[in-house]
Structure 1
Amino acid sequence: MIKPSVLMLAISSIFLSACNDSAAVTAAPETTKVKNLILMIGDGMGPQQVGLLEEYAQRAPHSIYNEKGNKTALSIFADAGVMGLSLNAPYGSNGSLVVDSACSATQLATGVAAGSEMIGLDNQGNIVETILERAKAQGKATGLVSDTRITHATPAAFAAHQPHRSFEAKIAEQLIESGNVDVMLSGGARVFLPADIKTNQASRDQMAALGMPTSVYKKSKRKDQRNLLLEAKNQHGYNLAFNKDQLAAAQGTTLLGLFANSGMADGIAYTACKQDNSCTQPSLRDMTMKALDILSKDEDGFFLMIEGGQIDWAGHVNDAGWMLHELIKFDEAVAAVYDWVKDRDDTLVIITADHETGSFGFSYSRNNLPASQHLTGNGMQGKEYKPNFNFGELSQLDKLYAQSGTFYAMMDQVSADWNFNNTTGQQWADAINTYSAFKVTPEQAAQIGLREENEYHVDGHKYLSAKEFPKVNDFKEFYVYGDEIHANLIGRALGASQNIVWGTGTHTATPVPVYAFGPKNIIQQFSTMQHHVELSQKMADALL
């Protein structure tokens, strides 16, 4: 007979052995580093904008997502990874309440507090090494992709250092001369071209020989005769691409693709050319896939920033239809990234925004009250169903998608040279009704063309030097971009029928969403409320 004490000792030994075996199995070190980092920035994409995309995808009667199970790529990333929020204002006790794209991108790129409108500098004006530059120093490949301009605030902040975001010609020089960015795909050729490109036939012939379309080299924003495209090719070894086909055919490990003189095609124009297969510019998805193809060949890994920048542009002019198309265009690129990364364990994907633009939202109103309905539910007690207010029909979402031109296109129809003095409500109504599924009367549109003295006039200011501004009746201080404000007034004229309100023509301090996908023990830290400075530090810790 075995004594109880001996039996207990044997049982204890078995359990301890099992625990030790289990510990041996689970003791593998946790993943703390990734080989690759993909940062996707929806410029101006606050939670309200994400809500617009998700409402359209999931509930629009004729949503283009119907064949995809009503799932956006953003929601697929949310399901597969984690979500958090990020504050984005200029950081610290000496900061401000609201951020611009340059400051926000700089904070995301450097992990330190930055000043408003600075590029790659801290809030004291010191040059700070960016996450892209640090990745390059460690032997990783690097890339920047945007549908705006490659010298625009967001991409510039990752690879240039300037006291103000407007110094785009200098930013272009830094991008080329530094050698820090292997792949650059965007618009913005105008600051790479010599000042006399419009009149110097020899320069134009050089560009044509490179395969650059006239629409891309039509004008320059430089004040000198430097041709940075030729320098990029001949002195720095960049392959060049200027249209969709050239991008697809491009080879090698370095690539500069400039597909527009300024910003690339807007989301509505892209939707139209995609439908009839007439696109000559690559899409944001096309550029993303090409960048991934090139950068992933580097055995040391890569850093890639991808920006859907025109979400912000649509928000600035309060154009919800355009904004929806930009969100869809960005989501296409997100889908391409998910397809590339979904089966990998060596890559961290962060999707966020630099800030929210426009203070956008759906809202209920006293306009167009709903009719009474007879419901058969057993709780109605013979009463008619009649809400007190108009809460917005889901068909509004389809009508937003049906918009066939941006508010800028409407302005072009009213006046090709944007001289809006003495324009009529009929002219504005005709233009709106040409492009929008929401219709307005001349009386409703009459306010759009009104102008008044600019009471905030500042001599020499880029925008406020204008003696006259479009007339805004409320919150006028937050509409700052001169004649473009006529576009915001189109948004006001359409707002009641769209069930949409806007609070500003600039940015808000709304916390923005953060989607994180990758090794689980790395991404958990992003599922919190954080600041962009902290978000940057977490990304750098994972990659470098």
Structure 2
Amino acid sequence: MKFRYLLPTLAIITQPVMAKNIIYPIDRATIMTGAKFDFKIEFDEIINPAQASILINGKKFNTVLSSDNQVEFIANEEGKNASALWLRNVSLKQAGDYQVQVSVNGKQSTVNWSAYNTPNKAQAKNVILIIGDGLSIAHRTGARILSKGITEGKANGRLAMDDLPYMGLIGTSSTDSIATDSANTMSAYMTGHKSAVNALGVYASRSNDNFNHPKQEPLGQLIKRLTKKSVGIVSDAEVQDATPAAVVANTRRRSEKAAITEMLFNAKPDVLLGGGSAYFLPQHMAGSKRKDDKDFITAFKNSGYRVISNASQLKQIDGKNTKKLLGLFHTGNLNTVLDRRFLNNGSTAKFPDQPDLTEMTKTALDVLSQNKDGFFLMVESALIDKASHSLDWERAMASTIMMDQTLAVAKDFAAKNPDTLIIVTGDHTHGISIIGTVDDNKAGNLREKIGVYQDAKWPNYEDKNNDGYPDDWNVSKRLAVFFAAYPDYYETLRPKLDGQFNPTTKDAQGNYIANDKYKTTTDAALRSGNLPRSADSGVHSVDDMVVQAIGPGAENIRGYMENSDLFKIIVNALAIKYCQCPSNQINKVNQTTNPLHHSMKGA
């Protein structure tokens, strides 16, 4: 009996010590050959370099990773009583499977990477990526009903996105949570690497400095370094917001908007259109949100950009005579299309001449298409998400209609330029559903006016002027739309014609409570929230994201994919190839480090 008990005891004793050392890139990373990234190892204690062995496929790590930089060893990283090793701005030259093994003081850590070559021949000359931020199934369905109408169970017309031939589902979860935000989801599209909530173009490590995390080379930087193609970024949000910023940025915190402005300038996209002029202006100028005297309006002008600030100027742009274009149409985010085009509520008083996303996209295509080598254009309909956070479904679905009309502009371009791949998706979803209608003519309180199943019948929106939007958003029989995750708020079941819905306000204890502004609305009903009291608005959902495509390379959009897979589809379609080009310093940050001596095993 003693012998029988001795065996499991010995097994426990002889097991290797649990590894706590962290390797970046992380396990199961897929990496394009020639794309730049930072290699970092975070040890869980202070070590001597001679104690560590770092091998990739059994070889010294710095003989496998191609880099012009020196290996950095930091004995005590930022006072955390733990060491770190960096090799910045590296790449893999050969496709294949890689196993990284780190051994130190009896602890072993292993990650596996997969590197791939892009094809020798491009399928597409141009790629247009259209992002509906927060785009969910209900947004699409609602946009179709509102824009096209429905009769006897059949849609009276089709959206531009309804006829895209290839479709798949995308998983949006991040490295640190199943729930995600726009930063790391869009960053996954742009780098091919998963990351953490709020991170742009970096792995979230233990560093305190937002600009000193292991970097990944975003697509905007990669295209500029390895090709002669042009890059365009268009959004109706601030151009420093998470989705547009992800095309070029590297920072742990998406909130670093002043620094992101500088990253945009360093990356120099050929077309940059949107809001966010507050971070381009030096601090002494009205409307600036900078804390320094850097003037990026002047900097862009001095770099050969034509700079514009309203829709009238945008309409005057001649693509044949404009090589570089910066358009900033608001100090912050642009106003929603519902406020800009249909409601005279004063919300656009400070910026009365804002362009539509369709207009920005058309001009961007005019400018970018002058490049005989092609282009990559990212277009974001950002306010689908921002209105959904506010539980303001009318504004969200109006922005979805605008996104779909923008897609129609892109499809018209692709019809004349069939070497163009168009991909349409969102970065994440919202928990939003249409459950029936709200009929003002029904008797009873607000709740009894909701019709479901056969009692829902049909809403009575009309589009007599054929602009694709309802002529009146406040008809007597409206869609009944609800969000799955919400704070306390007053439900009115009516569009907010005087401005975007602001569901909450803070109480004396700092908790978010229902905004009394809407309490006096006829029949307003208090909905007790299902989110923590710290939540001021609705949140994203973990639901899969629909992705669609048309054009050369679109056939690779199918089934279930991770969001990081979209990067590979884009670079493969464009056949972006590794070459012996001047190294692109991925926003390299100065840091005091100790030189790594050759005493480290594997150095």
Aligned to 2:54: none
Matched, 1:361 2:433: yes
Which structure 2 segments of 5+ residues have no match? Answer: 1-118, 206-212, 345-350, 444-450, 464-468, 475-489, 516-526, 577-603
Separation in 2, partners of 1:148, 1:348: 24
> Structure 2 CA distance, aligned partners of 1:252 and 1:448?
44
* Aligned-partner Cα distance in 2 for 1:145–1:450: 32
Q: 2:272 is matched with which residue?
A: 184
Change (3 A) 1:468 1:313: closer
For 2:326 and 2:442, the matched residues in 1 are separated by 54
**Aligned counterpart in structure 1 of residue 180 of structure 2, from 91, 96, 99:** 99
2:224 pairs with 1:136: yes
Write the distance in 2 (CA, Å) between the matches of 1:177 and 1:389.
Answer: 55
Q: What is the Cα deviation at residue 89 of structure 1? A: 1.2
Partner of 1:220: 288
Q: Is 1:239–1:256's contact at 8 Å kept on the other side of the alignment?
A: yes
User: In structure 1, what is the equivalent of residue 313 of structure 2?
Assistant: 246
- Distance verdict in 2 for CA 1:478–1:96, change over 3 Å: farther
User: Structure 2: how far apart are the matches of 1:526 and 1:469?
Assistant: 43
Instruction: Work out the CA distance in 2 between the residues paired with 1:450 and 1:273.
Output: 24
Aligned to 2:21: none
For residues 550 and 496 of structure 2, the distance between their equivalents in structure 1, rounded to whole angstroms, comes to 42
Which residue in 1 is equivalent to 2:189? 108
1:393 is aligned, of 445, 451, 457, to 457
How far 1:244 moved relative to its partner?
Answer: 1.3
What does residue 212 of structure 1 align with? none
Q: Is the 8 A contact 2:169 2:547 kept in 1?
A: yes
Deviations 1:146-194 (A, max 9, x none): 0011111100011111120101011011111333x11100011001111
Change (3 A) 1:249 1:538: same
- Select the structure that is richer in helix: 1
Distance 1:174 1:528, change over 3 A: same
What does 1:66-85 correspond to in 2, within 5 Å?
A: 70-76=157-163, 78=164, 81-85=165-169
- 8 Å Cα contact 1:120-1:162 kept in structure 2: yes
CA contact (8 A) 1:145 1:287 kept: yes
Cα drift, residue 113 of structure 1: 1.0
Aligned to 1:474: 529
Q: Is the 8 A contact 1:241 1:247 kept in 2?
A: yes
Partner of 1:381: none
In 2, Cα distance between equivalents of 1:98 and 1:283: 31
**Any conservation in 2 of the 1:365–1:389 contact (CA below 8 Å)?**
no
Q: In the TM superposition, what are the counterparts of 1:231-270 in structure 2 within 5 Å?
A: 231-234=299-302, 236-250=303-317, 251-270=321-340
Higher mean alpha-carbon deviation, 390-399 vs 305-314, is at 390-399
CA shift, 1:434, in A, is 7.5
Q: What residue ranges of structure 1 are gaps of 5+ in the alignment? A: 1-28, 199-218, 372-386, 405-424, 437-444, 455-465, 486-504
Question: Alignment partner of 2:298: what SS?
Answer: helix
Q: Once the 2 structures are TM-superposed, how far is the Cα of residue 75 of structure 1 from its aligned partner? A: 1.4
Change (3 A) 1:222 1:163: same
Q: Does 1:146 align with 2:179?
A: no
Q: Is the 8 A contact 2:184 2:195 kept in 1?
A: yes
**Which amino acid counterpart does residue 541 of structure 2 have in structure 1?**
T
1:539 alignment partner AA: I
Distance 1:174 1:389, change over 3 A: closer
Over residues 27-55 of structure 1, what are the superposed CA-to-partner deviations in whole Å (9 max), with x where a residue is unaligned? xx997521111100000001221121123
Tell me the TM-score normalised to structure 1 length.
Answer: 0.66
Q: Which residue of 2 aligns with 1:126?
A: 214
Deviations 1:125-149 (A, max 9, x none): 3111112222222111000000011
Residues 113, 123 of structure 1: 8 Å contact kept: no
**Cα distance 1:273–1:126, how it changes in 2: closer, same or farther (>3 A)?**
same
Deviations 1:333-374 (A, max 9, x none): 1110011102433111100000112x1111259999989xxx
SS in 1 for 2:564: helix
The one-letter code of the counterpart of 1:395 is: P
Equivalent residue of 1:184, what SS? strand
Larger RCO: Structure 1 or Structure 2 (Cα < 8 Å, ≥ 6 residues apart)?
Answer: 1
Distance in 2, matches of 1:57 and 1:366, equals 18
- Corresponding residue for residue 515 of structure 1: 548
Between the two proteins, what is the percent identity of the paired residues? 27
Task: Using the TM superposition, give the Cα deviation of residue 71 of structure 1 relative to its aligned residue in structure 2, in angstroms.
Answer: 2.0
1:348 alignment partner in structure 2: 421
Does structure 2 retain, via aligned residues, the 8 Å contact 1:82–1:526?
A: yes
The answer to whether the 8 A contact 2:192-2:565 is kept is: yes
8 A Cα contact 2:280 2:296, kept in partner: yes
Matched, 1:330 2:403: yes
Under a length normalisation based on structure 2, what TM-score does the superposition of the two structures give?
A: 0.60
State how 1:32-71 maps to structure 2 within 5 Å.
33-60=123-150, 70-71=157-158
Q: For 2:457 and 2:352, how far apart are their aligned partners in 1?
A: 33
**CA gap 1:148/1:542 in 2 versus in 1, 3 angstroms:** same
Distance in 2, Cα, partners of 1:390 & 1:450: 38
Matched, 1:196 2:284: yes
Check if 1:174 corresponds to 2:263: yes
Partners of 1:473 and 1:38 in 2: CA distance: 42
Aligned partners of 2:255, 2:137: CA distance in 1, in Å? 28
Count of equivalent residues: 399
SS state at 2:543 partner: coil
CA gap 1:37/1:473 in 2 versus in 1, 3 angstroms: same
Distance in 1, matches of 2:568 and 2:252, equals: 23
Counterpart residue number, 2:76: none
Distance (whole Å) between structure 1 residues aligned to residue 234 and residue 336 of structure 2:
15
Q: Secondary structure at the match of 2:532?
A: helix
Cα separation, partners in 2 of 1:478 and 1:197, compared to 1, 3 Å: same
